[in-house]
Structure 1
Amino acid sequence: MTTPPRIAFDGSLRRRVYLFRHGDVAYVTNDGSIVADPRAVHLTTQGQQEADAMGKMMADIPIDKAVCSGLPRTIQTLDRILGDRDMPVEQVPDLEELRSDRAQAAYEQGSAPDPVPLPDDLNEVAYAFLNAHKPGMKYRNGEAFEDFEARVVPAFEGLLKTPDWHTMALVAHGGVNRVLLGWALGTGLKTFGQFEQDTCCLNVLDIDQDPDDLTIRRVLVRAVNATTYDPPKRERHLTTLEGLAHKLQQTRKA
């Protein structure tokens, strides 16, 4: 679908980004350990259903650019959201998720790394994002949050510099989306731990840009963490990382 340009009151070109998190995946194996390569996981049946439901909600929304990180879970989610749209998909590896020690090792080695023991205190898993803004902090001994932000933001801004679209569907990851929401609000990593991103959620950003050189004039946040399932978050009490820690705790007890 071709989307017509939208113009702000002051003449700015108002471009829209539908920013999604991928659908549900399983990072914990049946024996209670983290999967060998977190970068390689695929959508679960639940994740497929979430993406299909989001695709139905987005079915009549014109989209003229489709982007994902290139990891399987984002490719699969985007495919289901796009539905029968016949359009190319751009993969941007710098929009891959924040890497823990294990994911970082898999990225560097190009294969599943040796097992890395999880911390005895699962609070370190459940609340790993809360100190993201502190200098030198790393995500579970993997990638530094500052380095993560430094690769995600330029990659996203690079997409904004291309003139060939008006409405973009971008499927990324919870951490990536948190960085981009912080970028949109001008808060950087200070708010990284305060945003929640449920599986297959939708965020809506409008970016006002100069119609001639695409300089960014302002950013508007229209929606955050919207889901087709449980819109009022009636059943959503744990955060994503608390849910992961809970699964690890349950398997340890089994």
Structure 2
Amino acid sequence: MSGMMGRRRLYLMRHGHVDYFAEDVTDFRQVPLTETGRHQAEAAGKALAGVRFDAVYHSGLPRTMQTAEIVMSCNEASDGLTHISSPGMEELRGGVYVTDSREELAARLAFSFEMASEEGAEFLPGGEKFSEAYQRITAAFEDMILSQEWRTALLVAHEGVNRLLLSYISKAGLGGIAAFEQDLACINVLDADIVPDENDTPRIQRIILKAINVTPYDDVKQALYKTSLEHLFDIDFKGRRLAPEM
């Protein structure tokens, strides 16, 4: 139990680039990293090469598993770690939205984050409710922090998951989700101070955001003028948003 107390650091990443529109993709959940995504993950791995990890987590989906594997392949200080699947960190489950336009779908997704705090808001029509995803993801996060012994850990998850976690940590709730951009293969650094309660049970005293949305493949984001959604969908709204009917 004593190994769970004190300050613990979590490196929270998003997976690297994927192509949801590749000809061989039949299940969005199983989409793999592209070559670009592998290079992004390798850049993150090199940046984290000197960090000694005690635990490595991913959502269990291929794109997060592959990103974690590439990152850790650059890390000789943490050889032999078993990578742990955390299904509670899976991306928000999307609903069905039929359109022939990438722009319209991207706009719908973008506005989904901005509407997350509205009562009953879903991640696309018929998808997971943001309020339910918030409960699922924060519960998995608290279990990872309070029930599992490590001092420094890596978690590779997804854009929606990371946005929810960062909003939770900053105490912004569902209303803060839209503000936390998460570029592909980005790194966030979270420090959690764990103290015992009156029953000597670990509790979170505070969580400090040390770094948010760091992209080692483009440190100052010179080439990242698009949002990550625009990049994934290969479009450019040029600073405006196409407002779909809600």
Task: Report the counterpart of residue 121 of structure 2 in structure 1.
Answer: 137
Letter in 2 for 1:75: M
Identical-pair percentage: 39
Change (3 A) 1:138 1:236: same
The number of aligned residues is 224
Letter in 1 for 2:11: Y
Contact 1:98 1:175 in 2 (8 A): yes
Contact 2:17 2:232 in 1 (8 A): no
Query: Is the counterpart of residue 20 in structure 1 residue 13 in structure 2?
Result: yes
Structure 1 runs (4+) deviating above 6 angstroms are none
Coordinate RMSD, CA, aligned: 2.3
d(CA) in 1 for partners of 2:202, 2:20: 39
Residue pairs, 1:40-119, within 5 angstroms = 40-83=30-73, 84=76, 85-102=79-96, 117-118=98-99
TM-score, normalisation: structure 2 = 0.84
Query: Is the counterpart of residue 128 in structure 1 residue 112 in structure 2?
Result: yes
Q: Once the 2 structures are TM-superposed, how far is the Cα of residue 119 of structure 1 from its aligned partner?
A: 7.1
TM-score, normalisation: structure 1 = 0.81
Residue 32 of structure 2 aligns to a residue in which SS?
coil
Residue 170 of structure 1 aligns to a residue in which SS?
strand
d(CA) in 2 for partners of 1:163, 1:125: 34
Per-residue CA shift, 1:2-40, capped at 9, x if unaligned? xxx79xxxxx60100000001111112359xxx532110
Task: Report the counterpart of residue 235 of structure 1 in structure 2.
Answer: 223
Q: Once the 2 structures are TM-superposed, how far is the Cα of residue 247 of structure 1 from its aligned partner?
A: 4.4
Residue 182 of structure 1 aligns to a residue in which SS?
helix
Match of 1:216 among 190, 204, 211: 204
Change (3 A) 1:81 1:246: closer
Q: Once the 2 structures are TM-superposed, how far is the Cα of residue 118 of structure 1 from its aligned partner?
A: 2.5
Change (3 A) 1:247 1:126: same
Listed as ranges, the gaps of 5+ residues in structure 1 are 7-11, 103-115, 250-254
Letter in 1 for 2:221: K
d(CA) in 2 for partners of 1:205, 1:144: 26
Listed as ranges, the gaps of 5+ residues in structure 2 are 238-246
Q: Once the 2 structures are TM-superposed, how far is the Cα of residue 205 of structure 1 from its aligned partner?
A: 0.4
d(CA) in 1 for partners of 2:9, 2:80: 20
Contact 1:160 1:214 in 2 (8 A): no
Residue 204 of structure 1 aligns to a residue in which SS?
strand
Letter in 2 for 1:178: R
d(CA) in 2 for partners of 1:197, 1:139: 17
Contact 1:22 1:173 in 2 (8 A): yes
